[in-house]
Structure 1
Amino acid sequence: MAVPEQDSVSATSEAYDAVAELYAQKFRDSLQDSPLERACLSAFADFVGEGGRVADLGCGPGHVTAYLAESGLAAFGVDASPAMVDLARRAYPGLRFDVGPMSALDIEDGALDGVLSRWSIIHTPPPELPAILREFSRILKPGGQLLLGFSATDGPTPASQVYDHAVAPAYRWWPDHLAGMLREHGFTEVARTVRAPQPTDRRQHREIHLFARKG
C-alpha cells in the first residue's frame, strides 16, 4: 500500500530534523572534495545564465544554494525540514530559505530560470514522482533549466528500487526511465553525467546528474 504523499513528506522531514546538526557538519564542506559535482553545478549555472533566478529544492543546510549564488545566480533554497532551513538561514543570512514540500511550492507559474533537485527526489515514493515533475515544469519558464541528482538502479528493471539510506527511505532510478518521465512533463534531456562508485563509497551505486530543459 502506497504511503500518502503528505505522510511521506512529513516522515522525511521529521527524519532530517532529527539529524540536521550532524548532517550539516558532515556535508556543509562536501563540495570541496567533489570536483565532478562542482563541475555539474557550474555547468548548470552556465546553462541558466548570469543572474538567473533558481530554486535549490531540498536545499538541506544551504551550502549548495550558497555555491549557486557565488556562481552568479539569484538562488534561494526550499526544504521540507524546518530544522535544515533554520541551519541554512543561520549559516547564510544573506540568502533566502523557505520551508515547504516540492509537491506544492509557493512559487509563481513560470517564475524561475532554473531548478536544482540534488538528491531530493530520492525520498519521493515512485507513484508520487510525476506530481513533483509537474511542479518543476509549472514553476520554470519556457527554456528553463533543470538539474536532477540521483542514484541509478543496476539495470532497467525495476525502473525504481528502494535502497538503504542513512536518514529516510530512498529510491534509485533507471536514468532512461526518469528521462522518459521528464519528456512526458515537457522536458528535453540536454546531458547527463555518471559517477561510478568508488571503493570508499558506503553505497556502491552509480550517481547521475541529469540536465534537462523545459520545452
Structure 2
Amino acid sequence: MADRITLDVYDLRASEYAQVTASDGAAATLQTFIDALPTGAKVLDLGCGPGASAAWMAKAGLLPEAWDASSGMVALAAKLPGVTARLASFDDLADAATDSFDAVWANFSLLHAPRKALPRHLGEIARILRPGGLFHIAVKEGTGARRDRLGRLYSFYAEADLTALLIAAGLTPGPFARGRDRGLDGALSDWISVTAHG
C-alpha cells in the first residue's frame, strides 16, 4: 500500500519536482543503463516521477513503460514523446507477466516503500525480468525509516543491506555508485545505486 502523505506531496508538487530534476541530458548512470540495452528493449520505469528518465530511454530507441502511484506525476510523464505512462503502485508488479521486461529502472522510487515490503517487491521484479535482464535501483543511504520535512516517507539502506536483499531476490548486484544531491525538500542527502542482473 502506497503512503498517502507521500503521494499527496508528489501530486501537489509534481511540476516543481519536474523542474528540480530536469537536465539537458541523461545522467551518467542512466546513460550507462541505456547503453547496456539493445534498441527496442522493453523497460519498466518503476516510480517514473515526471517521466524524464523514460523520455531519454525513448529517445535512445528503447520502449519505456512508465509507472507511478502519483496521478500528478503520471499526467506529466504521459505528455512526453515515446512514453507510455500509467497510474500504478509497487503492488501492481504482482499483476505483470513473468519475463515481460528486458529491464526495470527504479531510480529513487522504491525508497518510499516500507522496508518490510521491499523483499516482496524485489522478488516480483526478478520474476518479471527476462533472463539476463537489468535492474537499476537507487536509494538514500542510511538506516531506518523517517519522513522528510515535506512529510514524504523514506526507508534508508546501507550497501550491505541492499546487496543481501538483491541476492535473496535472485539478482546479482554489480558495482555500487554513490553521490550526494539536493532534493525537493532542499536537503542534501547521500545516495547509493546499483544495477543488478537477473
Q: Do both share a fold (TM > 0.5)?
A: yes
Residues of 2 paired with 1:126 and 1:117: CA distance?
Answer: 15
Give CA-to-partner distance per residue, 1:12-70, whole Å, 9 cap, x none. 3233112223222332x2x33xx8x7111111112222221101111111111101112
Q: Which of 66, 81, 85 is 1:97 aligned to?
A: 85
Instruction: After TM superposition, list the pairs within 5 Å mapping 1:131-210 onto structure 2.
Output: 131-153=120-142, 158=143, 160-162=144-146, 164=148, 166=150, 168-196=152-180, 202-210=186-194
Cα distance change of structure 1 residues 9 and 49 upon mapping to structure 2, 3 Å threshold: farther
Shift of 1:202: 4.1
Shift of 1:196: 4.4
Residues 103, 131 of structure 1: 8 Å contact kept: no
Structure 1: runs of 5+ lacking an equivalent? 1-5
Partner of residue 120, structure 1:
109
Paired residue secondary structure (2:55): helix
Residues 103, 135 of structure 1: 8 Å contact kept: no
Residues of 2 paired with 1:94 and 1:72: CA distance?
Answer: 9
Paired residue secondary structure (2:189): coil
Moved more, 49-58 or 165-174: 165-174
Residues of 2 paired with 1:184 and 1:208: CA distance?
Answer: 19
Partner of residue 197, structure 2:
213
Cα distance change of structure 1 residues 114 and 81 upon mapping to structure 2, 3 Å threshold: same
Partner of residue 110, structure 1:
99
Paired residue secondary structure (1:129): helix
* Structure 1 runs, 4 residues or longer, greater than 6 Å off: none
Residues of 1 paired with 2:96 and 2:81: CA distance?
Answer: 21
Query: What is the one-letter code of the residue matched to 1:87?
Result: L
Shift of 1:193: 0.9
Q: Identity of counterpart residues, as a percentage?
A: 30
Paired residue secondary structure (1:189): strand
Paired residue secondary structure (2:83): coil
Cα distance change of structure 1 residues 193 and 186 upon mapping to structure 2, 3 Å threshold: same
Residues 48, 66 of structure 2: 8 Å contact kept: yes
Residues 145, 211 of structure 1: 8 Å contact kept: yes
How many residues are matched?
195
RMSD: 2.2
Q: Which of 18, 23, 44 is 1:24 aligned to?
A: 18
Residues of 2 paired with 1:165 and 1:116: CA distance?
Answer: 26
Residues of 2 paired with 1:141 and 1:212: CA distance?
Answer: 13
Query: What is the one-letter code of the residue matched to 2:161?
Result: H
Residues of 1 paired with 2:90 and 2:113: CA distance?
Answer: 10
Structure 2: runs of 5+ lacking an equivalent? none
Please give the TM-score of this superposition, normalised by the length of structure 2.
0.88
Partner of residue 49, structure 1:
38
Shift of 1:85: 0.6
Residues 119, 150 of structure 1: 8 Å contact kept: yes
Residues of 2 paired with 1:48 and 1:61: CA distance?
Answer: 22
Please give the TM-score of this superposition, normalised by the length of structure 1.
0.82
Shift of 1:203: 3.2
